[in-house]
Amino acid sequence: MIGTDSQTSGRGAEGIAVTNVGFDNPVLQSQAMYRVLLSAMSRPGHIVPCELLLEVPASLAQTTAAAALTLLDFDTPLWLDPAAAAQQALVDYLRFHCGCPIVEAHGHAAFAIITDPCKMPSLDAFPEGSDEYPDKSATLLIQVERLDDSRGVVLRGPGIENKQTIQGKGLPGGFWQQVQENHARFPKGVDIVLCAEDRIAALPRTTQVEV
């Protein structure tokens, strides 16, 4: 179990009460979630279950929140899509628990949280790094309604034995074509984590997609 409910609360950066809570044991639980994320990134398209009991804003999936609590800090600029940015409780939660600066331009983001994928910018709108510094790229946490690996597009590449299939309900049309183009820019490109309510799957830039 990665997280458990707690009744503690705090105040956000602007003095607004934050009633949703983060990890009860930040060190152990962030380490556990990091291992989940590492497993997903090392096996692209493989769905990794996450047993979570976090108290989070209604518009934020528990897996998205857990990933944010694990990956974000004061040195990781975060971009929120308009649907997320319009939710003050969500903004306060991330500012209070992660301490991350929230940027208005997605071109300045180290991480992005996308709660409405159908209206998300194209993948190439986010920082893709450079040949010399591919690590200067963005990681996108994209919320989806459901993940299914019994059907869908076919993935190949490092970390995949033969092939892997995956389907994400709620992704926009043309998304997989963009993932294909993202791979073509390797070593540049963004990394993606698909976040359903109780499971995640990763699409690092090394992933090839058969569209």
Establish if 5 belongs to a structural domain: no
- Residue 191: enclosing H or E segment and its boundaries? strand 191-195
- Domains identified in the chain, total number: 1
Establish if 145 belongs to a structural domain: yes
CA distance 43 to 41: 5
In sequence order, the 6+-apart residues with CB closer than 8 A to the CB of 197 are 61, 62, 63
* Sign (positive or negative) of CA dihedral 56, 147, 35, 180: negative
Establish if 102 belongs to a structural domain: yes
Could you tell me the two tokens for 26?
């930040």
Establish if 3 belongs to a structural domain: no
Could you tell me the two tokens for 90?
């969500």
Establish if 195 belongs to a structural domain: yes
| CATH number for the domain harbouring residue 108 | 3.40.50.11310
- The residue type of 83 is A
Question: Tens digit of pLDDT for each residue in 1-55?
Answer: 444 333 333 433 333 333 456 666 667 777 889 999 999 999 999 999 987 778 8
Nearest to 104 by CA among 87, 82, 88: 82
Question: Tens digit of pLDDT for each residue in 156-193?
Answer: 999 999 999 999 999 999 999 999 999 999 999 999 99
Question: Tens digit of pLDDT for each residue in 120-153?
Answer: 999 999 999 999 999 999 999 999 999 999 889 9
Helix axes 88-98, 62-71, angle to 10 degrees: 30
Write down the pTM of the prediction.
Answer: 0.89
Contact at 8 Å (CB) between 44 and 157? yes
CA distance 103 to 95: 12
Contact at 8 Å (CB) between 14 and 102? no
Establish if 28 belongs to a structural domain: yes
> Quick one: DSSP state of residue 94?
H
Question: Tens digit of pLDDT for each residue in 62-113?
Answer: 999 999 999 999 999 999 999 999 999 999 999 999 999 999 999 999 999 9
Strands 78-80 and 111-114, sheet pairing: parallel
CA 193, distance to chain mean position in Å, is 4
- Domain limits at 27? 10-210
CB atoms under 10 Å from CB of 49, counted, come to 12
Angle at CA of residue 179, ends 46 and 151, nearest 5°: 45
Sheet holding 191-195, edge to edge: 48-49, 199-203, 191-195, 139-143, 111-114, 78-80, 102-103
